[in-house]
Amino acid sequence: MKIVFFGPPGSGKGTQAKLLVKELNILHLSTGDILREKLSDGDKLSIKLKEIMSSGNLVSDEIINQIIANKLMSIKCSKGFILDGYPRTISQSEFLLTFSKSNSLNFDIIFDFKINFKLVEERILSRSKQEQRSDDNIEVIKTRLDKYIEVTHPVSQFFSVNFSQKFFTIDASQEVFKIQKELINIIKKGQK
């Protein structure tokens, strides 16, 4: 099962991805998590990444595309995966689609998490207190949401048009367990 998640920061897609990978026994490919792991390397790249991420801006397409290509080629991904936080730009989506074509990777389902931005701000602020993420304060949240609207929303629009049969919009303001149930129902229907 190969799944793509779209949704603004704070829409709960990371939480849903973590639950779903357990249920389906597939891999969670969160570019945000992969980048956060790299921050502890202490090398030049990690310093640059920290600067970009803590400002709420996007890391360069070249870096991200390379990371994803390596991950998707890894044997662990052959069972399936959830792409969470990627593709985030049109250039990343072009890279992904070309890469998928040449490696015969077909996406089964695309979920788009929709949520009111005011609710997102509240959620991220409460998360910042719990997890102490340096990119979770109000100015940075605004930058991250703006980036989502300007840069990533057109990508999800592109997928909604080009993969309309596989594209499902999810009301992300619902309770965690309700969303999880909805995702599983959609996946089951698709397998019939």
d(CA 52, CA 68): 18
Q: Which is nearer to ligand AMP, 19 or 52 (CB)?
A: 52
Using the rule CB under 6 A, is 58 a contact of ligand AMP?
yes
Vertex 188 angle, CA 182 and 190, to 5°: 105
Asked whether position 105 contacts ligand AMP by CB under 6 A, the answer is no
Binding of ligand AMP at residue 32 (CB under 6 A)? yes
Contacts for 173 with CB less than 8 Å, ≥ 6 apart: 115, 116, 119
* Contact assessment for residue 5 and residue 113, using Cβ atoms and an 8 Å cutoff: yes
What is the footprint of ligand AMP within residues 143-182 (CB under 6 A)?
144
**Binding residue for ligand AMP, selected from 17, 21, 29, 53, defined by CB under 6 A:** 53
Q: What six digits make up the tokens of 148?
A: 């989502």
Q: Does 88 bind ligand AMP (CB under 6 A)?
A: yes
- Taking the least distance from each CB to ligand AMP, the nearer of 43 and 165 is 43
Closest approach of ligand AMP to the CB of residue 184, in Å:
23
Write out the DSSP string of 131-170.
Answer: H--TT-SHHHHHHHHHHIIIIIHHHHHHHHHHTGGGEEEE
- When asked if residue 123 is in the footprint of ligand AMP (CB under 6 A), the reply is no
CB of 175 to ligand AMP, least distance (A): 22
CA–CA gap between residue 151 and residue 82 (Å, rounded): 21
Distance separating alpha carbons of residues 187 and 115, to the nearest angstrom: 21
- Quote the least distance from Cβ 177 to ligand AMP, whole Å: 22
Residue ranges in contact with ligand AMP by CB under 6 A: 9, 31-32, 35, 52-53, 56-59, 64, 85-86, 88, 92, 135, 144
